[in-house]
Amino acid sequence: MDLVAEILKLKKERDAVILAHNYQDGDIQDIADFVGDSLELSRKAAEVSESVIVFCGVHFMAETAKILAPEKTVLLPSLDAGCGLADMITAPQLREFKTEHPGAKVVCYVNSTAEVKAESDACCTSANAVRVVENIDADEVIMVPDKYLSAHVEEELRKKGVSKKIIAWNGYCPVHMKILPEYIERLKMKHPSAKIITHPECACTVTRLSDSVKSTSGMSDFVRESGSETFIIGTEVGLLHRLREEFPDKKFIPATGLAECKYMKEIDLHNLYESLRDMKHVIDVDPEVARKAKSAIDEMMKF
Ligand code: CIZ
Ligand code: SF4
């Protein structure tokens, strides 16, 4: 069976659009209607005219799409597509943490469950975290779940002369932890003119060595604006496919091939095909949770 042809045929029959995250495998990115980061894809989800959205990414992203496009059917091809970082905090844990810091406002990274978003004052992505924390109306800000994104925000605010106390939850992305400073140092020795771009989910020892710290779509913007030819990329390896497609004349070197997210790689052409064939797995969010989570997402959109 020609899976690609079958997927395209079913997509029409089902009035569906395929959205793929920057970390998806190349064959999924190639068949998708749109490829982007979680925020860009959620915005697309709310904008497109199709009634069905097949989300090739992880669970929290499909949930966010459903929250922003409640009237649409959102499908996730594999329910095993979770997120090691989002799993690091639950809503009851966040509720308890808040009682320990009354007066602080909560900013949660988009890599979190809808229940955690619902307990937060504002959401943020890696692309807008600094802006959101800078503008939120509080001197003390709880940031969950990623301690390295929190440290990155703290450092950027310090450089801008903004004084806010950041209270970080102790979570991290197990995939970005595989990127070690010695890999970057070794590659820089081999390619001295290369620019080093890393993700804020990387450890501080890694981001410190970088020319720029960016979200995945921010990395693409950085490459477009840079005069350099070679880039060392410190994030999940799926992004390399997108960068090589977008900039065929430039050279991209992964900081390590080990930074592969098993959750993102849960999605393949076969379960994408089955998802459209059987209309599964439908992602729903409890309406009350969705209402509160949407208010945190809307707060982020203001900035
Ligand atoms: O927000 C996203 O899509 C994630 C998880 C990473 C990034 O930096 O784009
Ligand atoms: Fe979650 Fe990390 Fe995978 Fe992104 S790369 S989906 S943060 S486990």
pLDDT digits (tens, 9 = 90+) for 112-167: 999 999 999 999 999 999 999 999 999 999 999 999 999 999 999 999 999 999 99
pLDDT at 39 over 90: no
Contact 197, 231 (CB under 8 A): yes
Ligand nearest to the CA of 217: 1
Topology match between the domains 86-168 and 176-254: yes
Q: How far apart are the C-alpha atoms of 48 and 45, rounded to whole Å?
A: 6
Q: Tokens 């929290």, residue? A: 60
Smallest CA-to-CA distance from 228 within 210, 204, 252 is with 252
Six-digit token string for 259: 């930074």
DSSP 74: E
Ligand 2 pocket residue status of 175, Cβ below 6 Å: yes
Amino acid 66: pLDDT: 96
CA distance 42 to 61: 7
Q: Which homologous superfamily is 86-168 in?
A: NadA-like (3.40.50.10800)
For the CA of 109, the nearest ligand: 1
Topology of domain 3-82+264-284 in CATH is Rossmann fold (3.40.50)
Nearest atom, ligand 2, residue 57 CA: 6
Domain ranges of the chain: 3-82+264-284, 86-168, 176-254
Task: Give, using CA atoms, the residue closest to atom 1 of ligand 2.
Answer: 83
Tokens 């499909």: give the residue: 62
Element (H, E) at 98: helix 91-100
pLDDT at 48 over 90: yes
pLDDT of res. 205: 98
- pLDDT 10s digits, 216-266: 999 999 999 999 999 999 999 999 999 999 999 999 999 999 999 999 999
Question: What's the CA-to-centroid distance between 173 and ligand 2, angstroms?
Answer: 6
Q: For residue 300, how far is its CA from the centre of ligand 1 (angstroms)?
A: 15
For the chain, the average pLDDT equals 97
- Given a contact cutoff of 8 angstroms between Cβ atoms, the answer to whether 136 and 105 are in contact is yes
Cα(211) to centroid(ligand 2), Å: 23
- Ligand 1 centroid to 265 CA: how many Å? 15
Q: What is the mean pLDDT of residues 104-110?
A: 98
User: Measured from the CB, is residue 271 less than 6 Å from ligand 1?
Assistant: no
CATH number of 176-254: 3.40.50.10800
CA dist 147 and 151 (Å) reads 6
